[in-house]
Each structure stands twice: as structure tokens, then as C-alpha cells.
């Protein structure tokens, strides 16, 4: 739990807009959707992560005396507004897709229903937390997929963009499927496995490599992974490691969790040669771990080349998502109603770019599974009050290319509503699972994707469709706005 008050973790314009609403009183309740438009890393899905940090932020949302003093020093805010902020707290509702869930573009990951000032203030912090962690979890899931069952260790702290990126990036990587992290603080904060070996400096600090290996093995006999590329992998590192392993075996030690790590050179060639040497010496079950600027593409290539690596330490390209540095989530108003009214008035954002036109209204999402295989057939974004009968046929259509239609026969599919209540009337009603529990959720979620949607290059996209009611609402709003624009020409 953070000790620091994050209320001012926001963009200034959120506060200037809040003062504008305060000076021009309104009783409007609004709906904001947080979603993303394009899958990261050229993939066909993303993993939703960061909700626990959003919950902590909203629970602790308040302006401290120091916050008020700082805002006053900016000479932008009037005293009556600053006095209002002293008693500020969140009173609205939040719905969210649980962490670890597979998600797709344009569907709300988080939906906020609250008075307009409260909903506006949440924008920046929600996007900061969801964007970063969802990006790293998605990257991790791709790396894990490329490893084809081998363990992935997250090793990126020293290359992360600051402490928070290292801590929460490692959290996200664990959810995405890593088996452990080198980040000790993340291990402490979230009760996840930590692991590591030693650096080249350990070897260099001893008179010779053999002595360094022997000393390390004596200290950590049950976690003896020796870094063999300080001087020469095949001529020095592997022979010295084998010598130490033989001494451990001859001393009656039960060799578990032992092996080597290679951090440079041709990993495919070196790992195959290292395996031959280890096997010939009776250590064919030794772990062969690799690091060195790995990502999902390099791991996939090494697997194709028959590399004998069975454990991977992935750092920079995982913790920074090196080839895709931003998730691109946005936070857009979707509906408004006055207090006391029961119906929301849908709102839509127009754009010259079709993909940036928003989906209006107070919405929810249903995931449609193939009843027989359990795989995802499509996601359906619909209005929050819509209900569907699994025993009846369902027609799905592409909201852009509307002639593309699919008929699902009743009884052949199942439905699951993705958005769950997190805050109701300002109170938290959701208990976050542990990171390792979310990791298990994520593993099961990824198993619902078809293999064609998990491949690393040119994957098959999963359909995200609109219900007929939502599509008709969106079409009417677009037509109405087009007519208004023509009248003003």
C-alpha cells in the first residue's frame, strides 16, 4: 500500500476543468470509458492489468493541506474552489474488467459513472496505471508464449524508466506469465517469487573462475546457477562448472535447481555445445539459462534453431516493451444524465479517423465463447440494460463492414459479462486477488484464445462487435451531427 498521496498525480487541465464545473454548477452524472484503440506489439489481444492500483488511488483520493497550499501558489484557483477540494472524495460508481483478463480494442476496460467533476479528475491517474501495466503484461504474455513452456524470469529493474516502472512493471510481468522476478521490492510488496544468480563481477573478484564457482556453490547449493561467459563459455566456463557440479555430487549433495547461465555470444550454438558437455559429464538435467537482450522474436528464433535453453531471463525489452513503448489507452465521455433522471443521454466523439469515433452510451461487454471448445468467438459491446438468451440464435456483424455477419446458433455458445462493479456510491465492493492468483486467471484467459490469435506475426484479430441497439444509437448520433454540420455550412 502506498504511503504517498497521489491525488495530484494528474494533468493540470483536469483541475482547471473541475474549477470550471464548480463555477458553473451542474448536477450532471456522466459516464466515462477507459479503453484502447490498437493492440500493442502487433498482437491480437492485450491483458488488462492495473486495477488494484486504481482502487488504492480512488480509495485514498483526497486533497491534503499541502496539496491545497500548492494549488493556491499557482494563482489559478479561487479560494471557494480550494475550500471545496478540502472535503473532496469520490462518490460515484466504477465498473472494470478484472485484472488478468484478455481484452480487445474499443471495449471499456474501466467505466466510471460519477458527478462530472469526480469523473474528470480520475482520467489521468487511471490511464497512467492501466496503460503501463497492461502494456507490460501483454508483452510478458508474448514472451511467455514464445518460450513454449520454458520459465521466463523478469530481469528488467535496472533498465526500467524509474522505480515505479520497475516495481509495477515486474508486477505486470508476473501476471502476464513470468515465473519470477529479480526485483526484491516487488517480491516483498506482492508476495511473488524472486530469483537471481550472480554477476560477472563475482567471477572477476576471485583469483580464478573455478574458485568463484566453488564459493558460490557452497553458499547456495540448492540454487546454484553459474554464469559461464565471463572469460570463455566452452573452454573455461563449462569445464569449471562441471568440475564444481562433480564435487557437489561426490560430496553427496542432492543437485536441485542447478545449472548455468549464458549472457552473451551465439546463444543457440553455445547452448547446444554446453548441453553436449554437461550431458557427457552426467549433468544432462542441468538448467541452461540465457539472458542478453532477449525478446519474444529472438526467443522464438532460438527455439526454431534447436537451442538447448530451458530458462530465460528477459530484461530491457520486457520491462520497457522495447518495440512498443506505449499502450495508447484513452478516457472518453460516453453519456450524461441529470441527477434524478433515469435515462442517460448518449454522447459521441467524432473524428476524421474512423477508429477514433467513440461508442456512445452506458455500456457493458459480453464475451461470447464457443460452448464446445471454450474458445472466444467474439466480444459484444452493448448497452448496459441489454440481456441475451444463450438458447436463441445470435447474429453478429462487423460495425465497420456491416455486411460481414456471423450467425451463432442457440445452444452453441455461452456468454459472460466482463465488467464487474468495483465502486458503488463511493464505496469499494471489490476484493483484488493476489498477484499469483491473477497470474492463474491470466493463464486461463490466454487459453481461451485460438492459436491463430496468439501467433507473434500477423495474428488473426478477435471480433469486437456492437449490439444492434448500440449500433443503431451510434448511427443515429452520427447522422444527426452530420445534418447539423450541413445546416451550418
Mind listing the pLDDT tens digit of every residue in the chain (489 residues)?
A: 455 789 999 999 999 999 999 999 888 999 999 999 999 999 999 999 999 999 999 999 999 999 999 999 999 999 999 999 999 999 999 999 999 999 999 999 999 999 999 999 999 999 999 999 999 999 999 999 999 999 999 999 999 999 999 999 999 999 999 999 999 999 999 999 999 999 999 999 999 999 999 999 999 999 999 999 999 999 999 999 999 999 999 999 989 999 999 999 999 999 999 999 999 999 999 999 999 999 999 999 999 999 999 999 999 999 999 999 999 999 999 999 988 888 999 999 887 777 789 999 999 999 999 999 999 999 999 999 999 999 999 999 988 888 889 999 999 999 999 999 999 999 999 999 999 999 999 999 999 999 999 999 999 999 999 999 999 999 999 998 878 766 655
The torsion of the CA quartet 406, 410, 414, 415, rounded to 10 degrees, works out to 70
DSSP 309: -
> Are 256 and 346 contained in the same domain?
no
Where a domain ends, among 268, 292, 316? 292
Q: Give the count of alpha carbons within 13 A of 288, CB side only.
A: 24
Q: What is the pLDDT of residues 202-236, one digit of tens each?
A: 999 999 999 999 999 999 999 999 999 999 999 99
Phi first, then psi, for residue 330 (nearest 5°) are: -130, 170
> Are 226 and 344 contained in the same domain?
no
Give residues with Cβ within 8 angstroms of 142, minimum separation 6.
41, 43, 296, 456
Q: Is residue 299 part of a domain?
A: no
Overall number of domains in the chain:
2
Q: Is residue 409 part of a domain?
A: yes
Q: What is the pLDDT of residues 408-423, one digit of tens each?
A: 999 999 999 999 999 9
- CATH number of the domain residue 250 falls in: 3.20.20.70
Alpha-carbon distances of 317 from 160, 182, 207, 435, rounded to whole Å? 10, 15, 34, 22
> Are 123 and 202 contained in the same domain?
no
Q: Is residue 53 part of a domain?
A: yes
> Are 286 and 332 contained in the same domain?
no
Q: Is residue 439 part of a domain?
A: yes
Predicted pLDDT of residue 1? 45
> Are 284 and 356 contained in the same domain?
no
Q: Is residue 422 part of a domain?
A: yes
Give residues with Cβ within 8 angstroms of 81, minimum separation 6.
18, 19, 22, 23
Where a domain ends, among 292, 309, 336? 292
> Are 333 and 287 contained in the same domain?
no
**DSSP run (H or E) holding 32:** strand 28-36
Q: Is residue 3 part of a domain?
A: no
Q: Is residue 318 part of a domain?
A: no
> Are 331 and 469 contained in the same domain?
yes
- CATH number of the domain residue 79 falls in: 3.20.140.10
Where a domain ends, among 270, 292, 314? 292
Q: Is residue 224 part of a domain?
A: yes
> Are 354 and 275 contained in the same domain?
no
> Are 108 and 215 contained in the same domain?
no
Expressed as residue numbers, the domain containing 246 is 196-292
Q: What is the pLDDT of residues 88-132, one digit of tens each?
A: 999 999 999 999 999 999 999 999 999 999 999 999 999 999 999
> Are 273 and 403 contained in the same domain?
no
> Are 91 and 225 contained in the same domain?
no
> Are 330 and 462 contained in the same domain?
yes
Amino acid at each position: 500500500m502506498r504511503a504517498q498521496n497521489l491525488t495530484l498525480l494528474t494533468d493540470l487541465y483536469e483541475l482547471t476543468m473541475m474549477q470550471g464545473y464548480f463555477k458553473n454548477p451542474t448536477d450532471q452524472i456522466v459516464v466515462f470509458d477507459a479503453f484502447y484503440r490498437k493492440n500493442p506489439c502487433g498482437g491480437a489481444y492485450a491483458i488488462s492489468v492495473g486495477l488494484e492500483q486504481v482502487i488504492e488511488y480512488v480509495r485514498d483520493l483526497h486533497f491534503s493541506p499541502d496539496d491545497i497550499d500548492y494549488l493556491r501558489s499557482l494563482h489559478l484557483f479561487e479560494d471557494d474552489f480550494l475550500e471545496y477540494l478540502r472535503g473532496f472524495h469520490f462518490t460515484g460508481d466504477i465498473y472494470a474488467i478484472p485484472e488478468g483478463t484478455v481484452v480487445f480494442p474499443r471495449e471499456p476496460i474501466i467505466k466510471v459513472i460519477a458527478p462530472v467533476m469526480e469523473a474528470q479528475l480520475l482520467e489521468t491517474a487511471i490511464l497512467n496505471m492501466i496503460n503501463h501495466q497492461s502494456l507490460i503484461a501483454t508483452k510478458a504474455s508474448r514472451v511467455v508464449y514464445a518460450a513454449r513452456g520454458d520459465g521466463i524470469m523478469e530481469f528488467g529493474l535496472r533498465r526500467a524508466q524509474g522505480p515505479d516502472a520497475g516495481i509495477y512493471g515486474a508486477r505486470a510481468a508476473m501476471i502476464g506469465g513470468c515465473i519470477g522476478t529479480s526485483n526484491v521490492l516487488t517480491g516483498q510488496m506482492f508476495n511473488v517469487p524472486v530469483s537471481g544468480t550472480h554477476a560477472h563481477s563475482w567471477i572477476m573478484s576471485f583469483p580464478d573462475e573455478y574458485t568463484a564457482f566453488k564459493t558460490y556453490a557452497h553458499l547456495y547449493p540448492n540454487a546454484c546457477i553459474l554464469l559461464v561467459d565471463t572469460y570463455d563459455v566452452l573452454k573455461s566456463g563449462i569445464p569449471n562448472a562441471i568440475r564444481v557440479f562433480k564435487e557437489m555430487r561426490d560430496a553427496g549433495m542432492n543437485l536441485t535447481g542447478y545449472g548455468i547461465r549464458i549472457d552473451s555470444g551465439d546463444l543457440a550454438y553455445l547452448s547446444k555445445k554446453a548441453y553436449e558437455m554437461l550431458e557427457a559429464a552426467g549433468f544432462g538435467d542441468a538448467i541452461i539459462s540465457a539472458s542478453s537482450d532477449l525478446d519474444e522474436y529472438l526467443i522464438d528464433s532460438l527455439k526454431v534453431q534447436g537451442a538447448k535453453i530451458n530458462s530465460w531471463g528477459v530484461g530491457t525489452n520486457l520491462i520497457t516493451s522495447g518495440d512498443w513503448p506505449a499502450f495508447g489507452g484513452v478516457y472518453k465521455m460516453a453519456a450524461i444524465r441529470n441527477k434524478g433522471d433515469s435515462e442517460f443521454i448518449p454522447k459521441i466523439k467524432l473524428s476524421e479517423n474512423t477508429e477514433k469515433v467513440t461508442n456512445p452510451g452506458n455500456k457493458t461487454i459480453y464475451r461470447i465463447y464457443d460452448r464446445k471448445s471454450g474458445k472466444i468467438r467474439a466480444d459484444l459491446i452493448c448497452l448496459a440494460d441489454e440481456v441475451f438468451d444463450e438458447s436463441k440464435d445470435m447474429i453478429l456483424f462487423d460495425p465497420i463492414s456491416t455486411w460481414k455477419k456471423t450467425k451463432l446458433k442457440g445452444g452453441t455458445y455461452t456468454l459472460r459479462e466482463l465488467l464487474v462493479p468495483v465502486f458503488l456510491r463511493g464505496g469499494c465492493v471489490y476484493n483484488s486477488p493476489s498477484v499469483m492468483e491473477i497470474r492463474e486467471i491470466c493463464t486461463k484467459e490466454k487459453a481461451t484464445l485460438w492459436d491463430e490469435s496468439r501467433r507473434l506475426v500477423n495474428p488473426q484479430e478477435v471480433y469486437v462487435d456492437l449490439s444492434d441497439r448500440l449500433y443503431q444509437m451510434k448511427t443515429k448520433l452520427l447522422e444527426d451531427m452530420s445534418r447539423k454540420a450541413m445546416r451550418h455550412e
